[in-house]
Amino acid sequence: MPITNLSYEIKTFLPSSLELGKDIIQITSLEQHIWSDIENKILSRLNYLKCPQLLDSTSLLLHKLISNMVNTMHHRVFQQFVESDLYLGAVNGDNFFEELYQNEIEEHGDKNIASYCKKNDIQITFGFPDDSETLLTLRYPICCDSAVYLDSKLSEALGFSLIKQYAGEASTNYYLAKLTRVSSEYQNSPFPGYFPLLLTRASELDKMKAIFSKLSYGIVCFSSTGEILSISSSILDSLKLDNSSLSIQAFSRIIPSHFYNDVIWGLALETTEGIFENYRVRIKLPNDPGQSILFNISGYRSHDSTIQSLWQVVFLDPKSVDSLTEGSILNEARVHNITRNYVPQLVEQKARDVVRLGGKELTNEECYITVLFCDIVNFTTYVENNEKEESVIHTLNLVLGRISRTVNQFDGLIDKFMGDCVMVLFKNRLNAVLAALEIQKHSLYINSLRKNAGKEMLLLRIGIHWGQVIIANIGISGRLDWTTIGDVVNTASRLEKNCQPGAVLISQILYEVISTIEQPGIKFGDIFNIKLKGKRKELAVRYVHSDD
């Protein structure tokens, strides 16, 4: 049920005495492209506070805070819509309302709610003032107040405190708060004059005993032929078995045969000194075969040929535990090294960000980004004419490899390769133009060498556009692309098709957003209009060149 017709009145925010700061970020949706901007500003403030090492943990702290606030704000906005426009009266906590809300989120995401929030100035605002102890300030709707709290353990460990200012100091519709250091005298070391200690063997063993007990490690000792000689009760407890000889026999029967082949008669015999590490095996619960526990196992073969093994339960979301494979993590790392080159940079980077912030999946998001398309002119004809003369694949990879290195140099991300065409994304708009000019500069040099060698020229066309895009999951379960879609992408592609060989063509829209930035070494051509396929109106564009 879209909420595009919300009709109740929202009062405007009245300024407060709490200074938000010059740099502000306004948030209406978790799918906004906000996290990188927030992290950049947080890093700047942490550098000022002389604790940049807190970036990751502080980002996690704020991610939880922002997620709670936005979800609460959206829930309240939708509730007001249902109560006022559907005349259902108070519905807070009502099962029917919760079902309506979930249907809205599942069908439309938070797009409709966020759009309404933005249109009616219902938003959460983060500010970054020049204060000696303040990390940030925030202004938020009163309805979010219950969600404005920090993870107590993490905030205490980091030395941050959230101080709220209520309606008397703010306004009737918004509250204010600031995140500050608990003490300006706080140092990275636990006390003045602190320096790390080198553990003695005795103290190391004492700490290992405590760690062993706290983390519920277990020990299993096997004979050289695989019989269990001894076992920790904690392993039986984890499998919901009592401490008896019958339970030990039951445990030995449910250990998969590949464990014996891989470890007892494999790793322990083949590796140096019989040491093996990080082998994972899944054990089904004897009394509930539908459930299983994944163990991580390390150990060694002792001088008497017995196998001493250390077992630890891998704690993970039960819904996704089956996605972790069994076997050696070293082998998994080798597989990853092979497959990572086939995973788009955009996906890998975003996945790392999601995991670091405590997430479990890539979500759709809207953001402003610069899209660059680069294509080899008449490559199909080149392939037909030169299949027997030179390695086409080698030549293609040589060209694309150079493009990739330049893209990385200017902090771009390759979204995808499409034959001889590459699509690249840039957060920094000027970097996209600089990268394009560098690509063409190198292409000019390579083609001069090819010309001298009597080989066919391989000229490039580059088109660049800037605007709002959607980065979304496209496909079905088991085969997804997390890729950039929207009119900006289509326009950039068509700019490239209309570009002269060896040139860089940009939209006037992009020119306008970078024209205020100093651009040493860049010249812009005159503005002119072109007709793009599928577009009713002509698009204003310019060529861009290097001074040299």
- pLDDT in the model for residue 336: 57
User: Are the C-beta atoms of 199 and 159 separated by less than 8 Å?
Assistant: no
Say what percent of the chain tops pLDDT 90.
17
Is the pLDDT at 186 greater than 60? The verdict is no
Binning pLDDT at 50, 70 and 90, where does residue 10 land? very low
Cα separation, 166 vs 147, whole angstroms: 15
Q: Where are the domains of the chain?
A: 24-181, 201-336, 357-546
CATH class assigned to 201-336: alpha beta
Binning pLDDT at 50, 70 and 90, where does residue 433 land? very high
Q: What is the mean pLDDT of residues 476-500?
A: 85
Q: What is the mean pLDDT of residues 125-143?
A: 85
Tokens at 517, concatenated: 């930035």
- pLDDT in the model for residue 16: 42
Amino acid at 274: G
Count of beta carbons in the 10 Å neighbourhood of residue 328:
18
User: Are the C-beta atoms of 270 and 228 separated by less than 8 Å?
Assistant: no
Binning pLDDT at 50, 70 and 90, where does residue 6 land? very low
- pLDDT in the model for residue 12: 33
Least confident of 183-187, 354-358, 515-519: 183-187
- pLDDT in the model for residue 150: 86
Least confident of 53-57, 94-98, 213-217, 420-424: 94-98
Cα separation, 497 vs 490, whole angstroms: 11
> 162 — phi, psi (to 5°)?
-100, 115
- pLDDT in the model for residue 542: 92
Is the pLDDT at 464 greater than 50? The verdict is yes
- pLDDT in the model for residue 330: 56
User: Is 357-546 a CATH 3.40.50.10900 domain?
Assistant: no
Is the pLDDT at 317 greater than 70? The verdict is no
pTM: 0.55
Strands 460-476 and 504-507: parallel
Question: Tens digits of per-residue pLDDT, 365-409?
Answer: 777 889 999 999 888 787 777 766 556 777 788 888 889 899 989
**Residue carrying structure tokens 């002509």:** 538
- pLDDT in the model for residue 19: 56
H or E, element range at 138: strand 134-141
Cα separation, 441 vs 462, whole angstroms: 12
Best CA proximity match to 19, nearest among 161, 118, 139: 139
Is the pLDDT at 444 greater than 90? The verdict is no
HSE-up of residue 441 (Cα within 13 Å, Cβ side): 14
